Amino acid sequence: MAYTTINDPSAHFQTAIWTGNASNRSITNDGNSNLQPDWVWTKKRNNAQNHCVTDSNRGLGNILFPDVTDAESATQLLTSFDSDGFSINTNALINENSETYVGWQWKANGGSTSSNSDGNITSTVQANATAGFSIVTYTGNGTDGHTVGHGLSGEWDVVILKNRDVNDYWTVSATGTNQVLLLHDNVNQANHSTAYMTKSSGVIGLVGAGDLSMVNGNGEKYVAYVFKEIKGYSRFGNYKGNAASNGAFVYTGFRPSWVMAKRTDGTGNWMMFDTTRDTFNPMDSYVVAHSNQAEADFNFVDFLANGFKLRHTSSHMNGDATYFYMAFAEHPLVTGTGTPTPAR
């Protein structure tokens, strides 16, 4: 059984949904704990529109679009990070009248940053060591193989990295090798010889043999979202599909609140599910991270007390293939005191 240091995951991650009203307003969470977010990822659900991310390192007036390679846009959607949610303006990307939206939220350090000199490049970091999450911003120095500190102990497990200044790839690494995924694309996990990140204690290695601008262009600004697995709260890894309707089971040690999965050995969508848009199984409302397409429905997966179970033969989630996934807990299977969580 998975014991955990986090008995209430809602103190570190929550999902909110709302219907736009074209008026300045606050979006309030409804989890067990209050959550002031530092990274907010939003998406219009009922119509096609870009994904948008705002974080408290880069500031409220700057957004990035995970489904495209565009540089950072000086566009404001959020007007504040609040004690239990966030406030938004009237921009149609986040608050068009009668349109529906979702916002996934992670807590770092309440917007309080510190300078980190653990790597060759000084970074600005806010870290939530308890939840294994940090936001890292830095300016590249153009030197291949240099490192940047991430503020978490030990080696990182997953890094999502983007050049803010120019159109370039969203690089997702979980291996610390040149096997990387691209958040804005459905391509396979490629032997990406041009740019990738390596693992060392406390730092991200920035390798750019053919395209240094992806990770460390001279004078160019970057953001990295860094994750370290916390037992009973988060799980990052790979699973093998079985191409059967009685699909693969993936053990996490908790009932997931949010899962994102992507095929690694072939073309496949970045599939996103959560228990706020679907409050009971099957989790059939999915959003595709690399596409602006509207939310769609399909009986892909069940969220169980200790993991998730695939329920379809679709190659996007459960073909005879390998998949990468990230999962965050709704509640742990067993609390930090060893008490089993009641069935829900």
Whether residue 140 sits in one domain with residue 168: yes
Give, in order, the Cα–Cα distances in Å from 13 to each of 129, 147, 265, 327.
14, 28, 29, 11
Based on the domain organization, do 18 and 90 belong to the same domain?
A: yes
User: In this structure, are 72 and 135 located in the same domain?
Assistant: no
The per-residue pLDDT for 337 is 59
Is residue 92 included in any domain, yes or no?
A: yes
> Would residue 1 count as lying in a domain?
no
237: in domain = no
Residue 212: inside a domain: yes
pLDDT at 338: 59
Residues 87, 119 within the same domain = no
* pLDDT confidence of residue 140: 98
Render the burial of 110-124: b for 16+ CB within 10 Å, e for the rest: ebebeebebbbbebb
pLDDT at 329: 98
Same domain, 49 and 132: no
| Residue numbers of the domain that contains 157 | 114-227
Report pTM.
Answer: 0.96
Task: Tell me whether residue 136 is in a domain.
Answer: yes
pLDDT tens per residue, the chain (344 residues)?
A: 457 889 999 999 999 999 999 999 999 999 999 999 999 999 999 999 999 999 999 999 999 999 999 999 999 999 999 999 999 999 999 999 999 999 999 999 999 999 999 999 999 999 999 999 999 999 999 999 999 999 999 999 999 999 999 999 999 999 888 889 999 999 998 766 678 999 999 999 999 867 899 999 999 999 999 999 999 999 999 999 999 999 999 999 999 999 999 999 999 999 999 999 999 999 999 999 999 999 999 888 999 999 999 999 999 999 999 999 999 999 877 666 556 565 44
Residue 96 shares a structural domain with residue 141:
no
Report yes or no on 337 lying in a domain. Answer: no
Q: Does 4 map to a domain? A: no
Per the structure, the count of domains in the chain is 3
